[in-house]
Chain A
Amino acid sequence: AQSVTQPDIHITVSEGASLELRCNYSYGATPYLFWYVQSPGQGLQLLLKYFSGDTLVQGIKGFEAEFKRSQSSFNLRKPSVHWSDAAEYFCAVVANSGNTPLVFGKGTRLSVIA
């Protein structure tokens, strides 16, 4: 069965600083990987996804993520964080066949300070 680990529960960064959120997955084959963002009191918004091909994927709001098969990782990055990026971030995995459910990590809460 698939599983996702986000090692960092809470991260605080200064506005303008770079950001990296970690995600490790467990799956027998190459999975489909996602990052979602949830602002307080809101639903989930897809930031980016990886299915195949180029291992560096670009998403919305200036985010990118890199798939590293050797490390079973899919870390999310942003070169310069804005105060509006403060939110909860979820990494998720799904089996690469059919409409199967997402398996989420526990999430990383991002705080941005001035």
Chain B
Amino acid sequence: DAGVIQSPRHEVTEMGQEVTLRCKPISGHNSLFWYRQTMMRGLELLIYFNNNVPIDDSGMPEDRFSAKMPNASFSTLKIQPSEPRDSAVYFCASSAGTSGHYNEQFFGPGTRLTVL
């Protein structure tokens, strides 16, 4: 398996532009997580999905952030409009899910976003 795939790996954009980050989870996994890594706050959860349904989006900073999972093999994280403070590394992770049991999360390589 190719593992979790994220694109782009690097994104440089100007303040005010729309940014879309993409994630393809491991085939057969039904839980997907978006994390953000910054120097100040470390690694923190933004949102996660179980069976394509958003379960907890309390980590999404504000309305400028939105995430979708239209099917089991694809998710997007969109920032509109982007701001310099959104500069961070965004990780996607997926896991195989069974209720009541923890399953290992596998991380993608991350997208390094720079907003100028």
**Genuine A/B complex:** yes
A interface, CB within 8 angstroms of B: 32, 42-46, 49, 51, 90, 94, 96-107
B14 CB-CB contact with A under 8 Å: no
Q: Are B48 and A101 in contact (CB under 8 A)?
A: yes
Chain A residues positioned under 8 Å from B12 (CB to CB):
none
Please provide the chain B residues from 4 to 32 with a CB less than 8 Å away from any CB of chain A in the complex: 31
B residues contacting the other copy or chain, number (CB 8 A): 26
Taking A44-B91, A99-B97 as contacts, is the C-beta distance between A90 and B43 under 8 angstroms? yes
Chain B residues positioned under 8 Å from A44 (CB to CB):
91, 93, 107
Chain B residues positioned under 8 Å from A51 (CB to CB):
102
- Which one, B42, B43, B103, contacts A99 given CB within 8 A? B103
4 additional A-B residue pairs with CB within 8 Å, beyond A51-B102, A99-B48, A104-B44: A97-B101, A101-B48, A103-B45, A107-B42
Q: How far is the CA of A38 from the CA of B50 in the complex (A)?
A: 26
Chain A residues positioned under 8 Å from B109 (CB to CB):
42-43
Q: Mostly helix, strand, loop or mixed at chain A's interface?
A: loop
CB distance from A75 to the nearest CB of B (A): 19
Q: Are A43 and B110 in contact (CB under 8 A)?
A: yes
Q: Are B99 and A46 in contact (CB under 8 A)?
A: no
Q: Are A102 and B105 in contact (CB under 8 A)?
A: yes
Q: How far is the CA of A105 from the CA of B43 in the complex (A)?
A: 8
